[in-house]
Amino acid sequence: MTETSGPRGRISLIKAVGEGRLDVHSPGFVGQMWECLDCRACEAVCPSGVAYSQLIETARAQVERAKSAPDSRAARTPPRWLLHTLFGNLAMLRWCVGALRWLQRFGLMAVAARFGLAGAALARELPQASFAARGQRVTAAPSAGVAFLFAGCIMSAAFGDVHEATIRMLRRAGLSTVVPPAQGCCGAIAVHAGDRQFARRLARRNIVGFEESGADVYVVNAAGCGSMLKEYGRLFEDDERWRERAARFSGQVRDVTEVLDAMELPPPARRITERTTYQEPCHLAHAQRITAAPRRLLARVLSRPLIEMHESAVCCGSAGIYNLTQPQMARRLQRRKAAAIANTGATTVATANPGCALQVAAGLREAGYAGTVRHVVEILDDAYSEPG
């Protein structure tokens, strides 16, 4: 690895651009800003507490403003109109996911994956359930509080079963749940792509939706979204009108594993017998520093000890849109992760992020390994569901 391919080298490049010693259009600078996974692993171990992710994301926004990214092979970010169309209008996103499922049903995604079409291998792993936020309310009796379930974009379009399982688990923990329609994408994809203005537009909708809901806590079951939602205060730090509201909002955001781990849960109806390992999403382990809660929750329901995999916290290569913008590097990480899982002998891989679930499932399929990838909450829900 070259010096510029590490955090210290990239920070030096950012400093050089800031001091005018390097052009923001420089292919080397643009390439390095997008070659970074933004997995936050370096932040978790940095003794100086450098906010490296903030530097990278700000640099990407600067590149986008300079309009050099569309001309660079190294920065193959999705067109801005596509981001705005899909993530600004969730009905359109659900329609597109539905179309992908139709192609999947007739085996066309398998053909596309064989020809190396970016994203085709991931699309083959799309679950069949969707979930739309329509003002649903589920009451727990007795109720210890009200949780606002963040429906999100990819989660609502493709992982509806995880949302349903989340609502059931929150009710078992004594929390009522509301799913107001006044919400949408968290903005993480936009920030990763350097479009901070669009991310703020999406964020304002979620802040207002939570304020109007009257809920006590904002519950998220997607690690990448949770990381973004917890950092709205940073996103609006230069906006006097929204800064305090954003910071207050972020203070109420919790990952679903945080919430369930802190609540009194009854004993499960049964124990899960499958050999299980845990894939740590980067934005849960490194950005949110949540590592013990998912493991404690799994320990409650597994009939045998959780099998720890080698390099569990190393990125699987999904990293937001990284597997689409940097497919070769992403595939190297994907194969490394699949090998680590195979070495455990586990038949179930637990995770807590949709991107990780798709990436790992595609990697296991390619490796010919018979393993199932499931969200932690789905495994819990199975254990707490009465037979039949």
Alpha carbon separation from 160 to 3, 7, 131, 313, 365 (Å, rounded): 43, 37, 4, 26, 22
- pLDDT at residue 75 is higher than 80: no
Spatial distance between the Cα atoms of 382 and 145, rounded to a whole number of angstroms: 24
**By C-alpha distance, which of 35, 22, 122, 26 is closest to 71?**
26
| Omega within 30 of 0 (cis) for the link into 142 | yes
> Is-contact 263 173, C-beta < 8 A?
yes
- Residue-wise pLDDT for 6-49, tens only, equals 888 898 998 988 888 988 888 888 888 888 888 889 888 888 88
How confident is the model over 93-100, as a mean pLDDT?
78
The C-alpha angle 195, 192, 150, rounded to 5 degrees, equals 95
Exposure on the CB side of residue 267, measured as CA atoms within 13 A:
4
pLDDT of residue 72: 44
Please give the domain boundaries of the chain with CATH numbers for all domains. 3-71 (no CATH), 267-384 (3.40.50)
- Residue-wise pLDDT for 282-302, tens only, equals 999 999 999 999 999 999 999
pLDDT of residue 74: 43
- pLDDT at residue 350 is higher than 70: yes
Higher pLDDT, 80 or 372: 372
Q: Which residues neighbour 118 within 8 Å (Cβ) at sequence distance 6 or greater?
A: 324, 327
Pairing of strands 175-179, 136-138: antiparallel
> Is-contact 356 316, C-beta < 8 A?
yes
- Residue-wise pLDDT for 181-208, tens only, equals 999 999 998 888 888 999 999 999 999 9
> Is-contact 293 256, C-beta < 8 A?
no
